[in-house]
Amino acid sequence: MSDIFKSYDIRGLYPQQINRAVANLLGQAIAKFFLQAGQTKTVVIGGDMRMSTPELRDGIILGLVAQGMKVWDLGLVSTDTVYYASGRYSMPGIMITASHNPAEYNGCKIVLAGAVGVGSDSGLPMIEQYYLALQEDYNSEHSLAVEDKRQILTEYLDYLKRFINPADFQKMRLVIDAGNGLAGKIIPLLLENSPLDIIPLYFELDGSFPNHEANPLKPENTSDLIKRVKLENADLGLAFDGDSDRVFFIDEQGRLIDSSYIICLVAQYLLNKYPAQKILYNAVCSRVVPEVISGFGGQPVMERVGHTFIKNKMRQEDIIFGGEKSGHYYYRDCFYADNAFLTVLIVLSIMTQESGKTFSQLIEKFQTSSILPETNFTVDDQKKIITKLKNIYHDGEQSELDGLSVYYPEWWFNVRLSGTEPLLRLNLEAADDNLLQKKLAELSQLIME
């Protein structure tokens, strides 16, 4: 059963791997971990719109209460709302979600007080040990205590608007695909007093995801949005994942913009306001990212993929902003947590300031190479393949910060194990499309043979 413990969180199939009884044990194990870590005895908890979330929420609360914890129940909220509550009120937090995974999955993300991430390097193994020990002792459920229900969403949105007021935006036409996830609840409230013309797609909360998976990284999940952006002659398209902690941008021509370029755009904006700051990016971002950060007077810092690793690195080095190719964007002013909605506000503020330019024109100065969208391979022995590639490409500059990265003057690649699925992930960048396709064919053959 412990295979529900992943690198960054807990998740599994419902009800085979994770259900009310499992959630009860998880709640107890998490409570033991919180108490051992010297946390407050009050926990903030929220959940997404998945069909299984209410059952798992009740199970986790039962477990927390059984170990003497009190609960602030935030109800149906986005992940960043839980992070805000944890940071603002210095309490540990739990978000019940499986993020971008299909409807049959669920799980939870865990933070210590201050929205400090809990992952495989920072507490999850201890929670797993408590969980396994509790399995042997498990007898019956405790009665569900009346938890303290908190309406914190308005306070959180006001906090975001203090950074950038949507009322100050110029008039723009946006198509926004919420994917039947939490963005459908948050976006109307966040942008209600703005002059934006918003065309909503799939704003109805529905954990069965009837229109498409809430995973914008799969091309089939952004096809409706891209068509609508073109049809409406929109200035911008936005796609969110299920718990709305990730956002992806579609330009006015209907092209999905690589998140590396969004990192560049936000980094430029923040370095203009706060010169010489450190900016973090992960090991699979484009090589243009550190070049842009340095070019605008910042200090680039590379970290491995994964939100707990990035949050902890940012906290250790007091880093103002960080970004991942997967569409996560992290901010010191949001307790070093990822925040898709602040990213949207920043991008719309930039578009307002640069009102004479289209979104594609704002991005084009960063697009100096060809980037392959992250490509997954299902293979039996991922580590053996990584070793093979390390030996074959021994003449390149190599890094093992996260899997294997190999750098050449005209191209580079990274292969790494997935933190959440049994896959080998390939990222590849080259000087032009021809070289990109040549190296993709070469690497694909080596990986699959």
Cβ–Cβ < 8 Å for 102, 209: yes
Domain span at residue 192 reads 174-250
Cβ–Cβ < 8 Å for 141, 24: yes
Q: Which helix (H) or strand (E) holds 79?
A: helix 79-89
Q: Are strands 148-149 and 173-177 parallel, antiparallel or unpaired?
A: unpaired
> Which DSSP string do the residues of 102-162 spell out, in sequence order?
-TTEEEEEEEETTTEE--TTTTHHHHHHHHHHHHHH---PPPPP--EE---HHHHHHHHHH
Task: Indicate the SS3 state at residue 263.
Answer: helix
Percent of the chain that is helix, strand, coil (3-state, to 5)? 40, 20, 40
Structure token pair of residue 419:
């933190």
Q: Are residues 146 and 8 in the same domain?
A: yes
- Rounded Cα distance between 285 and 132, Å, is 37
Reply yes or no: is the peptide bond before residue 15 cis, omega within 30 of 0: yes
Domain boundary among 345, 366, 387: 366
Q: Are residues 238 and 377 in the same domain?
A: no
Cβ–Cβ < 8 Å for 100, 65: no
Q: Are residues 196 and 136 in the same domain?
A: no
Q: Are residues 275 and 307 in the same domain?
A: yes
Cβ–Cβ < 8 Å for 112, 188: no
Question: How many CB atoms are located within 10 Å of the residue 371 CB?
Answer: 21
Give a yes or no: residue 169 inside a domain: no
Give a yes or no: residue 273 inside a domain: yes
For the chain, counts of helices (H) and of strands (E): 14, 21
Give a yes or no: residue 92 inside a domain: yes
Cβ–Cβ < 8 Å for 212, 17: no
Q: Which ranges of the chain have pLDDT less than 50? A: 1, 146
Task: Indicate the SS3 state at residue 376.
Answer: strand
Q: Are residues 42 and 111 in the same domain?
A: yes
Look over the chain and give the mean of its residue pLDDT values, rounded to a whole number. Answer: 95
Q: Are residues 380 and 332 in the same domain?
A: no
- Rounded Cα distance between 144 and 20, Å, is 13
The pLDDT score that the predictor gives to residue 309 is 87
Give the residue carrying structure tokens 């900016």. Answer: 279
Task: Indicate the SS3 state at residue 439.
Answer: helix
The pLDDT score that the predictor gives to residue 310 is 93
Q: Are residues 281 and 413 in the same domain?
A: no
Domain boundary among 302, 337, 366: 366
Question: How many CB atoms are located within 10 Å of the residue 15 CB?
Answer: 15
Give a yes or no: residue 190 inside a domain: yes
Give a yes or no: residue 353 inside a domain: yes
294 is catalytic: no
Task: State the SS3 of 296-322.
Answer: CCCEEEEECCCHHHHHHHHHHHCCCEE
Q: Are residues 23 and 70 in the same domain?
A: yes
The pLDDT score that the predictor gives to residue 418 is 81
Q: Are residues 53 and 87 in the same domain?
A: yes
pLDDT tens by residue, 103-154: 999 999 999 999 999 999 899 999 999 999 998 766 555 555 546 778 899 9
The pLDDT score that the predictor gives to residue 1 is 44
The pLDDT score that the predictor gives to residue 99 is 93
The pLDDT score that the predictor gives to residue 308 is 82
Give a yes or no: residue 36 inside a domain: yes
Question: How many CB atoms are located within 10 Å of the residue 410 CB?
Answer: 11
Name the DSSP letter for residue 216.
T
| Annotated catalytic residue within 52, 99, 244, 349 | 99
- Spell out the alpha helix ranges (H) of 257-381: 259-273, 288-295, 307-317, 340-353, 359-363
pLDDT tens by residue, 297-348: 999 999 999 888 899 899 999 999 999 999 999 999 999 999 999 999 999 9
Q: Are residues 133 and 265 in the same domain?
A: no
Q: What's the domain count of the chain? A: 4
Give the CATH number, domain containing residue 389. Answer: 3.30.310.50
Q: Are residues 143 and 11 in the same domain?
A: yes
Give the CATH number, domain containing residue 203. Answer: 3.40.120.10
Domain boundary among 220, 250, 280: 250
pTM, two decimal places: 0.96
Give a yes or no: residue 164 inside a domain: no
Q: Are residues 318 and 208 in the same domain?
A: no
